[in-house]
Each structure stands twice: as C-alpha cells, then as structure tokens.
Amino acid sequence: MVPELQGTPASVDPLTGTMLVSAQWWNSASFDERLFVLLHECGHLEAQGGEFEADRWALDTYAQKGYSLKGAVLAFTHIMPFTTTEQYQRGTALLRQALQLQHSPTGSNR
C-alpha cells in the first residue's frame, strides 16, 4: 500500500510480482472495485498479458469464485475514466465476457 499512485488505483511489476495499491483510492473504493482491481493486477501475472488479458482473467476468476458479474462490470465502469478508446474497448470486452459467462458459466473462453 502506497499513499497515492498517478493515474491508476494499482500496479504490478511483472518481474518481481510486487503490487502497489493506492491507499487514497482503496479507502474510497467499494468491495467490488477493490476485488476487481486486485484480480486485474493478479491477471497481469497469471495471464502474462496486457490490460485486456488481465481484465479477462480477473472476470473469469470473479465468476469462478461466485461473485456478481454485474458487480464486476459496474466496478469497472466506476474505476475507468473513459478518456481513451482503449478504455471503451476494454469495457465492451468485459461486458461481452460477462454476458457469455452468464449464459455459459462453466466454459467460456472466447
């Protein structure tokens, strides 16, 4: 936990696995927002990928643990500033994945 991070609630170093979380953000975040961000950072390590792969891994794990997919998607919309095209694309991909998981909870890959 660090006092504040610029432009992100958390980050992870893929080489060391060290995760930094903004205390300022954490203290005002909901349970779903905290969980999604932590799983997203773990996703960078587990999926060894970028933002889209980390989001996908986070939502898959969210679903496997039985948490609300709606909660995860809403958390994402609260966290994202939506100032870039990529952020909208990530939101769209996440919603699509959530809908697929909702209709096929055990075996959604694409």
32-71 residues in contact with Zn ion (CB under 5 A) are 51, 54
11 phi, psi to nearest 5 deg: -150, 160
Contact present, 59 and 69 (Cβ < 8 Å): yes
Q: Which is nearer to Zn ion, 48 or 102 (CB)?
A: 48
In the complex, minimum distance from the CB of residue 102 to Zn ion, in angstroms, rounded to a whole number: 24
Q: Which is nearer to Zn ion, 29 or 54 (CB)?
A: 54
Q: Which is nearer to Zn ion, 46 or 51 (CB)?
A: 51
Contact present, 43 and 54 (Cβ < 8 Å): yes
Count of CB atoms situated within 10 Å of the CB of 7:
8
Where along the sequence are the contacts to Zn ion (CB under 5 A)?
51, 54
